[in-house]
Chain A
Amino acid sequence: MRDDLVLRVVAKLMIPFVVVFGVYVLFHGDFGPGGGFQAGVIAAAAIILYGIVYGLPTARRVVPDWLVEAMMAAGVLLFAGVGVMGLALGGNYLDYFVLDRDPVHGQHRGIFWVEAGVFITVCGVMLKIFYMFADRERVD
């Protein structure tokens, strides 16, 4: 699809908006529909669209394999780390009330980092699966 001018231009116009929408869904998940999982999928979809239209090697230059693999684990570690922070500050595991002097603000903070963790892992896993599928050669 690399020679299709219309696709290339439309994709180039759309991808920034898709990425911004993904970030919006992540940060606005407290107030509207959305959250880390949906945002991760949307952000991954933007890169996947880029990869489909401009070719896998181009996408790999933007989001390299080592970064994708690191994201897969980093998100889970971030999530678990928020829990450990709660322990360190004298609460239970995944207790957000102790993350700030104001308990409600602590909840906000905990929810934000947890959603960020989900976002990073989901985005990484979706991209990795796409890379692995698209990278294989035809058998017959």
Chain B
Amino acid sequence: MINALLVFMVVVTSALAVQRNLFSVVVLSAIYSFLMATVLVALDAVDVALTEAAVGGGISTVLLLAALYLTRGEEARPIRRPWLPLAMALGVGAMLVYGTLGLPAFSDPEAPIHTHVEPRYIQDGLKETGVPNIVTAVLASYRGYDTLGETTVVFTAGAGVVALLRRRRKKGR
């Protein structure tokens, strides 16, 4: 099931790289997001899947379409052949693949991530917080500092967009 979805994702990504019509690119990236959300559902990570579907498939698509309305619909051809960036991307990709070889096997119960703090979340989470959804308990309570940081990042990103787009508009007039 997951493998079939991953194959679909490879197909969509290849189409994304080749496609020059930006409208198709936006639609393909929305399809990619929904495939990713389905993979996450198959992995039982429903909270993340909900986020991926809402943000990646929903809001991002709308924002990209709104941006597309402001620009031309075709991607400009590059002046030079992008050999150096291609080599860089392949090199970094190869390094990342090499890095994954050192990771523990998929869903290995002995992996460090499953033996450090996770048993405590699963065993004591409900007793300590009274919240049956462990993801919520971890996000809001055990890892409250991280979530506060994330919320601050979202706020900062929004403030950054406001600062950039406001100044642009004034200059144009």
Which residues of A approach B to under 8 Å, CB–CB?
25, 29-38, 41-42, 44-45, 48, 52, 69, 72-73, 75-76, 79-80, 83, 94, 96, 103-105, 107-108, 110-111, 114-115, 117-118, 121-122, 124-126, 128-130, 132-134, 136-140
- How many Å lie between the Cα of A51 and that of B58 in the bound state? 14
Q: Are B157 and A45 in contact (CB under 8 A)?
A: no
Which chain B residues (114-173) contact chain A, with CB distance < 8 Å? 127-133, 135-137, 139-141, 144-145, 147-148, 150-152, 154-155, 157-159, 161-162, 165-166, 168-169
From residue B24, how far is it (CB to closest CB) to chain A in Å? 20
**What are the residues of chain B within 8 A of A133 when measuring CB–CB?**
63, 66-67, 70, 165
Known: A128-B158, A133-B67. A41 touches B54 (CB 8 A): yes
Question: Main SS of the interface on chain B?
Answer: helix
B5 interface hit (Cβ, 8 Å): no
The 25 listed contacts between A and B (C-beta, < 8 Å) are A25-B50, A30-B131, A30-B133, A35-B140, A38-B50, A45-B54, A72-B155, A75-B155, A79-B151, A83-B148, A94-B148, A104-B128, A107-B129, A107-B130, A108-B129, A108-B131, A110-B141, A111-B137, A114-B147, A118-B147, A118-B151, A132-B162, A132-B165, A136-B168, A139-B71
Q: Are B51 and A37 in contact (CB under 8 A)?
A: yes
**What are the residues of chain A within 8 A of B158 when measuring CB–CB?**
72, 121, 124-125, 128-129
Instruction: Select one of B51, B148, B155, B161 contacting A41, CB under 8 A.
Output: B51
**What are the residues of chain A within 8 A of B161 when measuring CB–CB?**
128-129, 132
Q: Are A128 and B162 in contact (CB under 8 A)?
A: yes
Which has the most chain B C-beta neighbours within 10 Å: A25, A76, A80, A124?
A76
Q: Are B154 and A121 in contact (CB under 8 A)?
A: yes
Known: A38-B47, A76-B152, A76-B155. A33 touches B133 (CB 8 A): yes
- How many Å lie between the Cα of A118 and that of B152 in the bound state? 9
Which chain B residues (62-106) contact chain A, with CB distance < 8 Å? 62-63, 66-67, 69-72
**What are the residues of chain A within 8 A of B166 when measuring CB–CB?**
132
From residue B64, how far is it (CB to closest CB) to chain A in Å? 9
Residue of B nearest to A102 (CB): B130
Residue of A nearest to B140 (CB): A111
Q: Are A29 and B141 in contact (CB under 8 A)?
A: no
